[in-house]
Structure 1
Amino acid sequence: MKKLSIIIPCYNEQESLPLFYPAVKKIVKKIPVEPEYIFVNDGSSDDTLKELKKIQQEDKEHVHYISFSRNFGKEAALYAGLQAATGDLVVVMDADLQDPPELLIEMYYLIKTGEWDMVGCRRVDRNGESKLKSWLSNMFYKVANKISETKLVPGVRDYRMMTRQVVDAVLSMSEYSRFSKGIFSWVGFNTKYLSYSNVQRVAGKSDWTIWQLFKYAMDGISDFSQAPLNITLWLGFVSFIVSFFAIIFIVVRHWIFPQYAINGWSSLVCIILLIGGLQLLCIGLVGRYIGRIYLQVKRRPIYIIKEKK
């Protein structure tokens, strides 16, 4: 019998966990696999760890938990779970039941056919979310797919089932700055996506603000695209050409049509501010990439475990 590892990153999910575990366990019983549940407590500030210990006491054979020394982020939690998973098949899903457990059955039988190495899930709508958040999400996928060679399926979730070969490929990418959606796509393999309508959280509220989602999107773009660097190059080149011809025009006009010469500092100050702002923008974009290199070469651990069982 194959072993199925289910990885669940948790951050302040004390209200969701008592509902999540029974719901998923009920579905997994319908699949001919030996289950392994790996909960990763990402430095929660509520009683998430207490809830995890209760669940682990109920089923010591199949339930395990990892608790970080502080909040390292969902990407670190996913990576820790993948490293700890021992199953032939591995699933990543959220604890808020926004990832429908019922799809696990279809995922399993699709992979069992041997045609697919990974079965992921994508939302076909974002009902229940703010229009601004939905619009920003759609724009992210459009921009990311325009400027990156690594294509992302719109509405794709981290929720997916993978073979051991896919998991090993993902783990081989030990980069410090991680964007799992991009990594899952980058490693390739035969992948099928199941579509479903958006599901609301069963309890609690999301800790993802619009600003955090924006930062996460920027991380994803800078991790899988050099387009921003290329844009700064072209902006600098165009700015140089325009300035060069503008200088020639001003000099020629001054000698041929001196009566049209304009004295004053306003236009000069505006030009200086424009070019200075452009330079700072370009330096900032370059600095972002350098900063990511800086974090990588320091070789700090992606996460630190305080407790596990």
Structure 2
Amino acid sequence: MSANVETTALVCSMTSERLVYVTTAYNESLNLEELHTRCRQAFEQIREALPNPDGLEFGMVIADNNSSDESLTVLQRIVSKDPQVIGIANSSNYGPEASAVNAFRHAGDCSLMICLCSDLQDPPEQSVEMVVRLLQDNSKDAVLAVKSRSAGGPMLQMARRTYYKALGYSSRLQQVPSGFHGFGCYRKEVVEEILRYWDESGMNLRMCIANSCHSPVLIHYRQADRTRGTSSYRGAGYALEAIRALLSADAAASRLALTIGGFGILFAFMMAVFLLANYLSGNSRYEGGIPTVMALVLVSFGLQMLTMAVVSRQIEGLRLSGFRPKLRYSLMRQSQNSND
């Protein structure tokens, strides 16, 4: 994105506010330093677009997910050079979502937070447009970046599109845009709401973010191909995570039950009409009363399906108290270490 942004249109009164970039890493030793540099450069472009650039401070939180390469060493080097960077060293690979939420908690009292992947597929330069869009319109609380082009082959892209549509359907608010995986810019109140959803529900991070944004702006970007590093999900891990995310969605149980119940009632009705028509036409060899009994059985089946759907929806309210594993990690700051 170009840095030539109209500064006069910005609605902003920056008074020592912070913009924090948050990311997680797993075997990203070849990407982390470039990521940090590009985030710093994007931040400087944002400052150039502000009428009061001294009022905005830079921050960055990088959570290492127990990488098996030199990522932690690289992270320590970045922290030692930049006092505005906080490093998190997880004792295990908790996955990008749990690790990202923990990083959100350590973003501090930030006014705006940029969430992005450390594999450089989410271009840090896109944050310039995100921040400017939010500063131009105080009525918007977030900017969600939607992929107009995904990395990978046609089959993988089709699988992703199918997953995103299913993910949107399984969310009660149906706000998960197709192609959105978390990359975006969020105001402080949205971050607080994301953490509340995460703590109080079993929803995945994308759903927590989407349901926390009440007036978001959608922008599109082309995702770059991954050239270096290793994903936290490998092989069957992608499929297992997708299934877990769909089943843990806030409306998945009730909508699945309602779908089954709806088809059950439709099937019972069609069979009842068929049996009645067959009986009235004289083509049935059933003795008197048998069609009535069969129709009652089918109606009973349909009502049972409907009852299951209604009960499932009420049980859903009790189910929305998720359990999250406790993360063990250590913090890395310039001149201090903390343990949790």
Structure 1 residues 294 and 183 mapped into 2: Cα distance closer, same or farther (>3 Å)? closer
1:36 aligns with 2:59: yes
The corresponding residue for 2:240 is 215
Query: How many residues get paired?
Result: 275
CA contact (8 A) 2:142 2:190 kept: yes
Structure 1 residues 48 and 165 mapped into 2: Cα distance closer, same or farther (>3 Å)? same
Structure 1 residues 91 and 230 mapped into 2: Cα distance closer, same or farther (>3 Å)? same
Q: CA deviation at 1:306?
A: 2.7
Correspondence for 1:23 among 31, 35, 38: 38
The corresponding residue for 1:93 is 116
Structure 1 residues 182 and 241 mapped into 2: Cα distance closer, same or farther (>3 Å)? same
1:194 aligns with 2:219: yes
Deviations 1:203-247 (A, max 9, x none): 22434346333333333333132222333445666788899999x
CA distance in 1, matches of 2:203, 2:69: 26
The corresponding residue for 2:257 is 229
Structure 1 residues 253 and 70 mapped into 2: Cα distance closer, same or farther (>3 Å)? farther
Q: CA deviation at 1:136?
A: 0.9
1:113-128 aligned at under 5 Å gives the runs 113=136, 114-126=138-150, 128=151
Deviations 1:173-225 (A, max 9, x none): 21463412111111232111211112122422434346333333333333132
CA distance in 1, matches of 2:222, 2:201: 33
Q: CA deviation at 1:303?
A: 3.6
Structure 1 residues 95 and 145 mapped into 2: Cα distance closer, same or farther (>3 Å)? closer
Letter in structure 1 aligned against 2:32 = L
Aligned CA-pair RMSD: 3.3
Identical amino acids, percent of aligned pairs: 18
Question: SS at the partner of 2:114?
Answer: strand
The corresponding residue for 1:71 is 93
Q: CA deviation at 1:129?
A: 0.6
Correspondence for 2:29 among 14, 17, 30: 14
Structure 1 residues 207 and 164 mapped into 2: Cα distance closer, same or farther (>3 Å)? closer
TM-score with structure 1 length normalisation? 0.76
Letter in structure 2 aligned against 1:11 = Y
1:54 aligns with 2:82: no
Question: SS at the partner of 1:111?
Answer: helix
1:92-241 aligned at under 5 Å gives the runs 92-113=115-136, 114-126=138-150, 128-146=151-169, 148=171, 149-173=173-197, 174-175=199-200, 177-209=202-234, 211-222=236-247, 223-225=249-251, 226-234=254-262
Letter in structure 2 aligned against 1:224 = D
CA distance in 2, matches of 1:142, 1:42: 29
Structure 1 residues 156 and 76 mapped into 2: Cα distance closer, same or farther (>3 Å)? same
Deviations 1:157-185 (A, max 9, x none): 31111111111111112146341211111
Structure 2 unaligned spans of 5+: 1-15, 48-55, 279-283, 289-307, 333-340
CA distance in 2, matches of 1:193, 1:219: 26
CA distance in 2, matches of 1:28, 1:82: 19
CA distance in 2, matches of 1:25, 1:134: 31
Question: SS at the partner of 1:172?
Answer: helix
The corresponding residue for 2:53 is none
Letter in structure 2 aligned against 1:31 = I
CA contact (8 A) 1:89 1:164 kept: yes
CA distance in 2, matches of 1:208, 1:147: 22
Structure 1 residues 175 and 45 mapped into 2: Cα distance closer, same or farther (>3 Å)? farther
Q: CA deviation at 1:8?
A: 0.8
1:248-263 aligned at under 5 Å gives the runs none
Letter in structure 2 aligned against 1:201 = R
TM-score with structure 2 length normalisation? 0.69
